[in-house]
Chain A
């Protein structure tokens, strides 16, 4: 069902609730004939009228407008790209119809598909472990050596009739020793497997958290309010920076100690550190690696404070039905705490005003707020308050291998949910010019054009022998909004050839002749 079918949805829901058309029109303050035109899809509906309609029909706006179904439909369109389904002629465009007619079946199909991908990932990980894990390889080799020894000695005992008694005793003893060692090696191997934690990242859990955030359009009004309240709690009087006030708040008000750990410490000591930081809520201890920059320390301190002060609010938010497992809920908890931290450092109204004023110049914004580049990009994505919206940006973070580790889609921007993105996106070429902002006008096969702004960011190394972690971060907006940004300056949007012909991901891309193609497109995309 297309967006234009909103009228049918209104009529259907009105009838479900037993409200007459006249009555609904009356409550909306519009004429019955106008109401009829809306229900017949002959008049558009939006703004306050849409909000009022949603309220009267007791539905979320997204459901009424079909945004939820569109997202579901977009997700389903990626199924035909899977080689498993390549022999079935699945027309991507019929996903809309399927979702419109059988929304619950569609959700069930998507849930199963994600579970399938999750399991595939686990199998690949286990397979990789069996093939590459050095400890496992050594154990297997050791066991096979013991078996070889036992077999060799046994063959001698069996085959050599004139074996001297002393030699016979030695070979029997060897079999005994080797079989004992073989048993120990086998037990060691079993206990190794029983450790359980394979360190895998459940795709289902991350997908669910993605869905949860997307369903909220990357914006949480209640968290914004919590962030404002938390910011007020920090005593910034007479201080030049927020960091000092937060540190004091954590230690004096919340009783959380803050430690700095030598970055070159034994790996066992620094295990579990994520983003150069480890927060132990039970022990009320926040520890940083010494190489964590001040922006990271401030962000993580606020995040720790948010986990404590907004625990109840976060608990309520993560009861969302989209988060089906404890792992999903825990991931969502961490994501929401990060959201609050971002909102404390970059207060919504002020940040939006500044962003508009400097035309979304990320460098200027990060200087003004003394924030990290990625923090600013991430905050830009959340400027979706319906009362005061910023430019709708999509966000992607990739590592040099092409693996994407963070994604925030916006409607219309084809961020692939599974697999790799198009290698022509400048988020990947950004690694060739580290720390320089790269911009790219990208045109998708659909004809839609987006302005992509990418730059590398790094987590600095802790010592000479350690490797700094490098990522590239991209924000992208529809070309319709590009002129509101400084990144459009000097680009001739009307000149043919300015835009780079890109795709979403090879399997979903109709540019069959593309020399950068890594894998074939699904055939139903047309020749």
Chain B
């Protein structure tokens, strides 16, 4: 069954290129650009991995991360956080809130793909 990836990122060009590259790797991809829509989209789409940017309009990525990790039905979805390079505190916060992985911007497409692959493998192995 095709694995689903939800990208929560407000930069449309980045969403387009990431979607393109993940789809080429065999994933089904959906995207959401506004922080306030992320939770509902996760509930309706039920992705296998969430790629979540820290700075989203209207809802901070950390708040969303905390909400997912405290929700019994959603807590098992692995989350890949997108942080800005050099902001060590952000990474520490992301991990302490339960993010499974993070990637710092600017990243390579290969970094994202291998990270999503790795998370799904771990997630699949667990289930």
Contact = CB atoms under 8 A, between A and B. Distances in A.
Contact of A167 (B20, B55, B87): B20
A148 B107 contact: yes
B64 interface: no
Given A140-B84, A141-B105, A144-B85, A153 B13 contact: yes
B26 interface: no
Contacts of B11: 145-146, 148-149
Contacts of A25: none
Contact of A147 (B24, B54, B105, B110): B105
B77 to A, nearest CB: 23
A159 B107 CA distance: 15
Given A149-B14, A152-B21, A141 B55 contact: yes
Contacts of A144: 84-85, 105-106
Contact of A141 (B17, B21, B84, B110): B84
Interface in B78-106: 84-87, 89, 105-106
Interface in A161-189: 167, 170-171, 174, 177-178
A141 B54 contact: yes
Given A141-B55, A144-B85, A151 B16 contact: no
A109 interface: no
A516 to B, nearest CB: 30
A51 B72 CA distance: 85
A262 to B, nearest CB: 31
B17 A152 contact: yes
Given A145-B11, A149-B11, A152-B109, A138 B17 contact: no
Contacts of B89: 131
Contacts of A151: 106-108
Interface residues of A, number: 25
Contacts of A131: 89
B30 interface: no
Interface residues of B, number: 24
B18 interface: yes
B55 A155 contact: no
B23 to A, nearest CB: 11
Interface of B is mostly: mixed
A178 B89 CA distance: 27
Contacts of A171: 17
Nearest to A178: B13
A148 B14 contact: yes
Contacts of B24: 160
B105 A148 contact: yes
B33 to A, nearest CB: 12
A132 to B, nearest CB: 9
A145 B11 CA distance: 7
B8 to A, nearest CB: 13
A147 B54 CA distance: 16
A473 B86 CA distance: 42
A364 interface: no
A145 B14 contact: yes
A301 to B, nearest CB: 47
B17 A153 contact: yes
Contacts of B20: 156, 167
A183 to B, nearest CB: 15
Nearest to B103: A148
A137 B54 CA distance: 11
Interface in B48-93: 53-55, 84-87, 89
Nearest to A153: B17
A151 B106 CA distance: 8
Nearest to A176: B13
Contacts of A174: 13, 16-17
B125 to A, nearest CB: 28
Most buried by B among A131, A146, A148, A167: A148
A156 B106 contact: no
Contact of B106 (A148, A159, A167, A177): A148
A140 B9 CA distance: 16
Most buried by A among B14, B54, B89: B14
A131 B86 CA distance: 10
Contacts of B13: 149, 153, 174, 177-178
Nearest to A177: B13
A153 B9 CA distance: 15
Contacts of B85: 144
Contact of B55 (A138, A152, A177): A138
B107 A170 contact: no
Contacts of B18: 152
Contacts of B21: 152, 155-156
Nearest to A149: B14
A167 B20 CA distance: 10
Interface of A: 131, 137-138, 140-142, 144-149, 151-153, 155-156, 159-160, 167, 170-171, 174, 177-178
Given A140-B84, A153-B17, 12 more contacts: A131-B89, A141-B105, A145-B14, A145-B105, A148-B105, A148-B107, A151-B108, A152-B17, A152-B108, A155-B108, A167-B20, A174-B16
15 contacts: A137-B87, A144-B106, A145-B53, A149-B14, A152-B14, A152-B18, A152-B109, A155-B21, A155-B109, A155-B110, A156-B17, A167-B20, A170-B16, A174-B17, A178-B13
